[in-house]
Amino acid sequence: MIGRRHFLTRVIPTTFWTSFIMRSLSRNAEAKTVENESYKTLTTTEAETLGAWCAIIVSGAGQAGVARFVDENLAGDQAASLLLLRYLDASDMAGFYRNGISGIEKECQHRFGLSFARANADQRLELVEAAIASKMQVWTNPNPNFFYFISRSDAVDVVYGTQAGFADLNIPYLAHIPPPRPW
Amino acid sequence: MSQISHDKVEVVIIGSGIAGSTMAAELGEAAFNVLVLEAGPERKLSDMISSQIWSRRLRWAGPEVLETGDLVGAANFAMGWGTGGAGLHWYANWYRLHPDDFRVRSLFGRSLDWPIGYDDLRPWYDHAQSYFGVSGNDDSNAPSGEAYPMPATSMSKQSSAIKPGFDAEGLELTTNTLAINSAPYAGRAGCLLDGWCDAGCPIGALTNPLVLQWPRARKAGVELRHNAYVARIETDPSGSKATGVLYLDEQGRENLQPADIVISACHTIWNARLLLLSTSDKHPDGLGNGSKTLGRYFTSHALTTIHGLFSQETEPHLGVSGANTLCLDGYEDKQPAKGAFGSRAWLVGQAAKPNDLLGTALAKPELYGEALDDYLRNASRHYGNMTVLCEEDSIPENRITLDPSKRDRYGLPQAHVINSLPHANATRSKLAKEEGLRIFKAAGTTDAWAGPRNPMHMMGGTIMGDDASASVTNSFGQVHEVDNLFVAGASLFPTPGAVNPTATLAALVFRTADYIRTHRSEWLP
C-alpha cells in the first residue's frame, strides 16, 4: 500500500553531493531574529535541531526563522495553520514534528554518537541524504522521507515563498492582497 | 445537554460550496425559504491573500479523513472550509463530460452507465457556462454546445514553449476553457493572469461563491449559518421522509433544524458520510443504502505532472493555476492499447510559484542546498509543466466507509476512503506519462521529468442510477428511499471521465433545482 506519506523523492547518487558546502548567509531580508525567545510548542533544543536540519536542506532557512514558523503554527488553531502538513496529515501535527526531530537525534546518536547540534557538516549531510534515500538505520517514525519532504517544504516557504524570497528569485510578486507579514 | 430547536424552513442545504451555494441561489430566487448550514467559519474576499503560505487557511480544517489505497492523499488539499468551500480555491477548469463517459458500461462492459446521457445534460451545461461566466474557444475535440460567453485567454509563453511537442506528436493543443473572465463579465473584472488562482481571486475574475452565488442568494433571502456541523439527517417514524437535520454549533451544542426538503451538498466524502451516519431502525445501514451501494464506486482521476526546463523564458509565475491550454485530442479513445483503459486529458501550462504542493521547488523534491537554489533560479524563468488526468473505473471496492474504532473531534465515526487504481487504468496512466515525456522532449526541453502519480478530484459514493437496487439516488439526486432528501455534488457521478468535475456538478445542480421548483407541491404543505 502506498499512502499519503509515500510522495516523494527519488534516490540520487551520493557523489552528487560531495562538493556540497553549507551556506550560512541569509538572503531573506525579512528573516526574523529568533534567538533568546522561548518557543510555544517545541523545546528550545527541538527547535534548534529542526532549524539546523532545515538549514542543510535550504540555505538560510535557520535565519529566516523556520523553527519559529513551525512552532508558532503548531501552537495555534489548526484551522489557522500555515503549515503544508495540514494538507497531508493534520491528525497530530505537533507529534509529527516532535517525533521527527527525535528521529533526527536518535539517528545521529546511532551513527555518530553525537547530538545533531554537535554533528559536523558532512555528518548532517549524510543524515539528509539517508532521509532522501529512505535509508535510515534506527529512525522509522514518522517516515523519514516524508519528514524530509515536509520540513523541506517549511524551509522553502520561509526562504523562497515570501515576498522577499520571490524578489530574490527575480519573480514579480503581483499580489491582489499582499500578505500581512511573511508568515 | 438540552437540544436547541429552530423554526422549520422549507429547504435546508448542507454545505455552502459551489453545489450548495448554487442550489441556494436557485431555490431562493424561486421563492423557497432556504437555510444553508456551513461547517466552517465565515469567509470574506479579504481572506484571499496572495500567498501560497497564507492561502492554506482556506483549505479543509474539519475532521480528518483516513485514506488507504494507492490513489489517495488529496482530501485536505481538495476540500474547503468556510463560506464557499472549495469554491474559494478551485482552479476553474471547465469541461463537459463526453457522450461516451455516460455509457461506459454499455460501450465497454466495465465501470458504470449514468441514468442520463449527454443530451439530457447539454442544456444545463449551456446554462451553467453562461451563469458562471466561462471563457473559451471552439474545440473540435470537445462535446458540442453553445459558444462560450467570452473568448479564451491568449496562449502563454509556457504553452508556446510546449506546443511544438504536441505538434510533433500529432496532437492538437487548444486554448483552455475556464470559469475565468478573459474580459469584464457580469460586473466582474477581467483576469490579470497573475497566477494566484489557488490562493483565491478577490477580484472575482475567477468566479467564486463569494462574488457570484452568495450575493444572489442573500438578495433572495437565503440564510447562511456558519460553524454548523451537520451530524445526521432525521427521518420520520416511517423512514420515508426527512424531517430535518441535527447539527453541532461552535459550542458543541446539538441543534435541531426542521425542514420540508433536505439537500446534502457537501464535498464527496461528506455526502456519503452524512448518509452513512444517519442510521435509524428503518435505515440501519444509513439513508439511501437499501441497495448497499452507499459509499461505493468512489472514483478519482489519476494525475501525473510532466515538468521541464526550457531554453527560452516561460514566465511560469504568470497565467492561471488551472491550465493555459488543453489537449482533448485522443480523449475518445478509451482503449489506446491492449490492457489499458480510460480517457485522458492534458492540462498544459499551469502557473507555478516557488512553494506549496504544486510549486517549482516540490517539482524536484530530491534537490536541496545549493542544487535546489540553482534549480529554483533557473526554474523561475524557464520552467514549464503539464498535467494529465486519467480516468478511473468505477468499482465497488473503492469506497467511503465509517470507522467506528476512530472518533472525530465531534465524537462521530471517522470517514475512511479506500481507493486503488484498477490495473487497466494504471496501464493507461503509464502510457500517458510516456506520451507526456515524449512531448516535452520534442518541445526541446533541456530537462524533462515526470512526477509521481497522485489523485485529483473525488467523485462517487452516492451514485445516481435508474435501478434503486444498484444506486443511491435517481438522476436528480433524489435519494431512492426518502423522497424529500436530495444529494448535490460530484458524489453523484457514476463515472468520472477524465476531466475536472465542476462543470458537470454545476449542470446537475441546475437540473435538480429545476426539478425541485417544478415539483414544489409534492414536498411543501
**Which residue of A lies nearest to B357 if distances are taken between CA atoms?**
A84
CB A10 within 8 A of CB B80: no
CB atoms within 10 A of CB B137: 16
Question: How many whole angstroms separate alpha carbon B249 and alpha carbon B257?
Answer: 12
Distance to chain A for B89, nearest Cα, Å: 14
For range B172-177, the mean pLDDT = 98
For range B77-93, the mean pLDDT = 96
Residue numbers in A near B381 (CB within 8 A): 170
Radius of gyration of chain A (CA): 16
Distance to chain B for A4, nearest Cα, Å: 5
Residue numbers in A near B203 (CB within 8 A): 176
CA B293 to chain CA centroid, Å, is 21
C-alpha cell, B167: 505538434
C-alpha cell, B104: 461506459
**Which residue of A lies nearest to B368 if distances are taken between CA atoms?**
A57
Per the CB < 8 Å rule, is A176 touching B196? Answer: yes
**Which residue of A lies nearest to B52 if distances are taken between CA atoms?**
A161
DSSP state of B349: -
pLDDT in tens, B213-236: 999 999 999 999 999 999 999 999
Spatial CB neighbours of B512, under 8 Å, sequence gap ≥ 6: B23, B476, B477, B478, B486, B488
Torsional class of A170: left (φ above 0), alpha (ψ -120 to 50), beta (otherwise): left
**Which residue of B lies nearest to A77 if distances are taken between CA atoms?**
B61
Residue numbers in B near A83 (CB within 8 A): 56
Q: Give me the residue label for grid cell 439511501.
A: B288
Residue numbers in A near B54 (CB within 8 A): 82, 179, 183
Question: How many whole angstroms separate alpha carbon B167 and alpha carbon B163?
Answer: 6
CB B91 within 8 A of CB A105: no
Instruction: Identify the pLDDT of residue A90.
Output: 85
Interface test with A, best of B355, B406, B407, B409 (most A CBs within 10 A): B355
Spatial CB neighbours of A138, under 8 Å, sequence gap ≥ 6: A106, A107, A110
Instruction: Identify the pLDDT of residue A33.
Output: 44
Question: How many whole angstroms separate alpha carbon B247 and alpha carbon B229?
Answer: 5
Residue numbers in A near B192 (CB within 8 A): 174, 176
Residue numbers in A near B83 (CB within 8 A): none
Where along chain B do its domains lie?
A: 4-522
CA dihedral B495, B501, B502, B504 (to 10 degrees): -40
For chain B, what is the mean pLDDT?
97
DSSP per residue over B330-342, as a string? TTT-S-SSTT---
Nearest to B366 among A22, A132, A165 (CB): A132
For range B377-395, the mean pLDDT = 98
For range A127-138, the mean pLDDT = 98
Per the CB < 8 Å rule, is B376 touching A169? Answer: yes
Instruction: Identify the pLDDT of residue A12.
Output: 31
Question: How many whole angstroms separate alpha carbon B188 and alpha carbon A125?
Answer: 52
Nearest to A7 among B64, B373, B452 (CB): B452
In chain B, positions 320-359, which contact chain A (CB-CB < 8 Å)?
353-357, 359
Nearest to B365 among A8, A17, A157 (CB): A8
Judged by a CB distance cut-off of 8 A, whether residue B373 touches chain A is yes
pLDDT in tens, B61-77: 999 999 999 999 878 89
More confident residue, B348 or A28: B348
pLDDT band (50, 70, 90) for residue A14: very low
Judged by a CB distance cut-off of 8 A, whether residue B229 touches chain A is no
Question: How many whole angstroms separate alpha carbon B190 and alpha carbon B203?
Answer: 8
Question: How many whole angstroms separate alpha carbon B398 and alpha carbon B405?
Answer: 20
The secondary structure element, H or E, covering residue B511 is: helix B502-518
pLDDT over threshold 80, residue B110: yes
**Which residue of B lies nearest to A13 if distances are taken between CA atoms?**
B366
Per the CB < 8 Å rule, is A176 touching B50? Answer: yes
CB B364 within 8 A of CB B410: no
Architecture in CATH for domain B4-522:
3-Layer(bba) Sandwich (3.50)
CB atoms within 10 A of CB B374: 11
Per the CB < 8 Å rule, is B371 touching A20? Answer: yes
pLDDT band (50, 70, 90) for residue B1: low
CB A27 within 8 A of CB A60: yes
For range B206-212, the mean pLDDT = 98
Spatial CB neighbours of B109, under 8 Å, sequence gap ≥ 6: none
3-state secondary structure chain A: CCCCCCCCCCCCCHHHHCCCCCCCCCCCCCCCCCCCCCCCCCCHHHHHHHHHHHHHHCCCCCCCCHHHHHHHHHHCCHHHCCCCHHHHCCCCHHHHHHHHHHHHHHHHHHHHCCCHHHCCHHHHHHHHHHHHCCCCCCCCCCCHHHHHHHHHHHHHHHHHCCHHHHHHCCCCCCCCCCCCCCC
Instruction: Identify the pLDDT of residue A91.
Output: 86
Distance to chain A for B285, nearest Cα, Å: 27
Phi/psi for B396 (5° steps) reads -65, -25
Interface test with B, best of A72, A150, A160, A162 (most B CBs within 10 A): A160
Question: How many whole angstroms separate alpha carbon A64 and alpha carbon A159?
Answer: 6
Handedness of CA B246, B249, B254, B259 (dihedral sign): negative
C-alpha cell, B45: 474576499
Q: Give me the residue label for grid cell 526562504.
A: A159
C-alpha cell, A103: 528521529
Of the candidates A148, A154, A103, A171, the residue with the CA atom closest to the CA atom of residue A7: A148
The secondary structure element, H or E, covering residue B431 is: helix B423-442
Angle between helices A144-160 and A121-132 in degrees, nearest 10: 110
Where along chain A do its domains lie?
A: 40-168
Q: By mean pLDDT, which of A76-80, B382-386, B443-447, B481-485 is the weakest?
A: A76-80
C-alpha cell, B229: 456541523
Interface test with B, best of A10, A171, A181, A183 (most B CBs within 10 A): A171
pLDDT band (50, 70, 90) for residue B162: very high
Counting one residue from A and one from B, how many pairs have CB atoms under 8 Å apart?
A: 165
C-alpha cell, A131: 532521509
Instruction: Identify the pLDDT of residue B74.
Output: 76
CB B90 within 8 A of CB B77: no
Distance to chain B for A75, nearest Cα, Å: 15
CA angle B443, B445, B451 (to 5 degrees): 105
ipTM confidence? 0.95
pLDDT over threshold 60, residue A15: no
pLDDT band (50, 70, 90) for residue B283: very high
CB A5 within 8 A of CB A148: no
C-alpha cell, B449: 521529468
pLDDT over threshold 80, residue A103: yes
Question: How many whole angstroms separate alpha carbon B344 and alpha carbon B347?
Answer: 10
Of the candidates B191, B187, B244, B192, the residue with the CA atom closest to the CA atom of residue B216: B187
Nearest to A171 among B76, B317, B361 (CB): B317
Helices (H), B191-322: 213-219, 268-277
Instruction: Identify the pLDDT of residue A37.
Output: 66
CA angle B9, B15, B20 (to 5 degrees): 80
- Report the percent of chain B where pLDDT is more than 70: 100
Residue numbers in B near A82 (CB within 8 A): 53-54, 56-57
pLDDT band (50, 70, 90) for residue B272: very high
